[in-house]
Amino acid sequence: MSGRKRDSLWAYFDKRIIPGKTGSRARCRNCGKDIQGLVSRMRQHHLLCRSNIDIPENMPRPESEFPPRMKDHSLINFVTTTTSSKKDLMDLQLARYIFSTNTPFAAVEHPEFVKFVQMLLPGYRLPSRHQIGGTLLDHVYDQIHEDCRQRLQDKTVSMMLDGWSNIHNEPVICVSVVTSDGENYLIDTVDTSGYSHTAEYLQSVALASAQLAEQRFGCKIGSLVTDNAANMTKMRRIMMEDGNEIITYGCSAHYLNLLVKDVEVADVKGTIVTINKYFRNVHLPAAWYKSNGGKKLVLPIDVRWNTLSDCFQSYLDNWSIILRTCEEHRTDIDTEIFSKVQNISLKRRVEEYLMLIKPIAVALDKIQNDSTTISHAVEIWKELEQTYIDNGCTNILGKVRIRAKQALTPFHLLANLIDPTCSGKSLSNVEIDIALSYCAQNYEYALPTLINFRAKADPFKQYMFAPNLLSKVSPIAWWESNSYQLPSQVISLCKKILGAVASTGGIERIFSTFGFLHSNVRNRLGIEKAVKLVSIYKLLNK
């Protein structure tokens, strides 16, 4: 018989011819369904109902059921494997990602995340949340700790100490150190629950933390800066009286913040806060104000420096929009608010007030930088005083000088005097005498070198004071370049003085990180785990 060979798939179907029509039909022997007699249609139907087919042993099977013969390959080429060492590396990297992004530990057990990882690497088994918050946290923290130790080894650093209350209102004292490069590292956290923060207790904490820093990180504490609370001030005085080698002083940023309060005009502040609150928090006025293109209005926060200046600036920047909003909705706007916004005299007073506190805000931003040292703090205070003289604001010069005198100790003046980028140029003759006298009383061995430095006499060459050179090297590097011809004791003193930071701004930022990580959402974290997470988060996000 000639013609194309009949497909063996017909073994599962009965062929039917319908009179008057071309082609044939096929009836499934299993389910009885009648379909067009095309092999492609029959194969598709057969695959759908084949699981219910009881195939006799002697029935021939269609050729399409037998897969083509494949070449012989080893199965290892088609299996994804994860070795023990590779899994350890992957676990560690996953943990670093979780810690650096403040992701909850339980995220590794979320079904969708598990599916995602299985799609990427089917052979990888995720660590549990307990492993992430346990052994892996300890492992990553040990790595970070070792990294910090290498960075701090043999360096003279400045130490900052301040207190804070965590999410559970537990009193915590944090201690960090700052290098001459402005790198800030958290080295100790003390839970002080059950202890009164007396000056004597704070002194014991400071000395213990300094010893810990030297033992665990290999660095030398040259100076200590704290805020200006009464107990901290007394603690610094006790340490000085005890003849401790660590030089102590108060935070210049805190003194600048006190200066803002010295020049504060209470009725102006209260009025502007009321207006800003109204257009921020009352729904309809806030919506009208926003639709007119108004930007977000700032409210002052006592613990956030410069927010008062930002509050006034935001009001003045958006005053025309606020006024237009009041005019367009005069019947709906609170009459008292409307009256205050229309008061041009009030606007002028805000402008005058902002002129007083804006220079302080600029100085605050400069001085709370981690890389701002006490020698530059002297320059910032001097610039602030000169700004008020240039602006004709002589009525507050007395208040500025009082706060500057509190902030700038003889130690600050000496630092400014030996800093080659400053060389005491902004100091008065009286202040220079104070600095030299302080050096003679406490560091007599360095006085001859200091006098030669001021006179630019041997071993200091004229080319070493060229402005182009001084702008490209740090003060500490400048002095270290002369170490071969100067006493080592003098070089060590210069490192201590020129590496002292001006404020506790760095530790305030650590507190902000604590608040971000140890929050209401993650309130079950203990202090120990929170400290490790903060250290890891700070270093991995530099």
Model confidence over 423-470: pLDDT tens digits? 999 999 999 999 999 999 999 999 999 999 999 998 998 999 999 999
Q: Which residues contact 105 (CB under 8 A, 6 or more apart)?
A: 98, 129, 130, 132, 133
Which residue did the predictor score with more confidence, 55 or 144? 144
3-state secondary structure of 293: coil
**Could you tell me if residue 61 is inside a domain?**
no
Cα gap 472→343, rounded to integer Å: 52
Residue 297 maps to a domain = yes
Q: What's the order of all strands across the beta sheet hosting 171-178?
A: 184-191, 171-178, 156-165, 220-226, 247-250
> From the centroid of its chain, how far is CA 472?
28
If asked whether residues 99 and 178 sit together in one domain, one would say: no
Instruction: Report yes or no on 76 lying in a domain.
Output: no
Residue 59 lies in a domain: no
Q: Are residues 196 and 270 in the same domain?
A: no
Query: In the structure, what pLDDT confidence band is assigned to residue 6 with cuts at 50, 70 and 90?
Result: confident
62-93 burial, b for 16+ CB within 10 Å, e for fewer? beeeeeeeeeeeeeeeeeeeeeeeeeeebbee
Same domain? 466 vs 494: yes
**Euclidean distance between CA atoms 261 and 355, whole angstroms:** 14
377 and 476 in a common domain:
yes
Closest by CA to 534, choosing from 193, 172, 250, is 172
228 located within any domain: yes
121 and 165 share one domain: no
My answer on whether 299 and 350 are in the same domain is: yes
> Same structural domain for residues 451 and 439?
yes
Mean pLDDT, the chain, integer: 89
What confidence score (pLDDT) does residue 316 get? 95
Is 414 or 242 the better-scoring residue by pLDDT? 414
- Which stretch of DSSP H or E encloses residue 463? none
Lowest mean pLDDT among 30-34, 78-82, 319-323: 78-82
**Percent of the chain whose predicted confidence (pLDDT) is above 70:** 93
Q: Average of pLDDT values for 388-406?
A: 91
- Among 340, 360, 380, the domain boundary falls at 360
Phi and psi torsions of 393, nearest 5°: -90, 55
Bridge partner list, 248: 224
Residues 380 and 490 in one domain: yes
Task: Determine the 3-state secondary structure of 223 from DSSP.
Answer: strand
Query: Between these two residues, 302 and 536, which has the higher pLDDT value?
Result: 536
Helices (H) and strands (E) in the chain, counts: 24, 8
Instruction: Assess whether 307 and 384 both reside in one domain.
Output: no
DSSP tag of 70: P
pLDDT of residue 38: 81
What SS3 class is residue 78? helix
Amino acid at residue number 154: D
Q: Mind giving me the DSSP string for 149-190?
A: HHHHTT-EEEEEEEEEE-TT--EEEEEEEE-TT--EEEEEEE
Instruction: Please give, one letter per residue, the 3-state secondary structure of 3-14.
Output: CCCCCHHHHHEE
Report yes or no on 177 lying in a domain: yes
* Structure-model confidence comparison of residues 28 and 4, the more confident one: 28
Minimum mean pLDDT range among 5-9, 30-34, 78-82: 78-82
Same domain, 125 and 194: no
- 78 pLDDT exceeds 60? no
Check whether 72 has a pLDDT greater than 60: no
Residue with structure tokens 């088994």?
125
Residues of the domain holding 419: 372-499
Residue 118 CB coordination number (10 Å):
13
Q: What is the pLDDT of residue 1?
A: 47
Residues forming beta bridges with residue 249, ordered by sequence position: 225
Average of per-residue pLDDT across 81-98: 91
How would residue 66 be classed by pLDDT, with cut points 50, 70 and 90?
very low
Q: Compare 489 and 523 and report the one with higher pLDDT.
A: 489
**Domain harbouring 225, CATH code:** 3.30.420.10
Q: Per the domain annotation, does 399 fall within a domain?
A: yes
Q: Residue 53 pLDDT more than 70?
A: no
Each residue of 180-219: pLDDT tens digit?
Answer: 888 999 999 999 988 899 999 999 999 999 999 999 999 9
- What pLDDT does 263 receive? 87
CB contact set of 136 (below 8 Å; sequence gap of 6+)? 91, 92, 95, 127
Count of domains for the chain: 5
| Domain-located, residue 509 | yes
347 shares a domain with 425 = no
Distance between CA 362 and CA 253 in Å, rounded? 11
**Are 398 and 484 members of one domain?**
yes
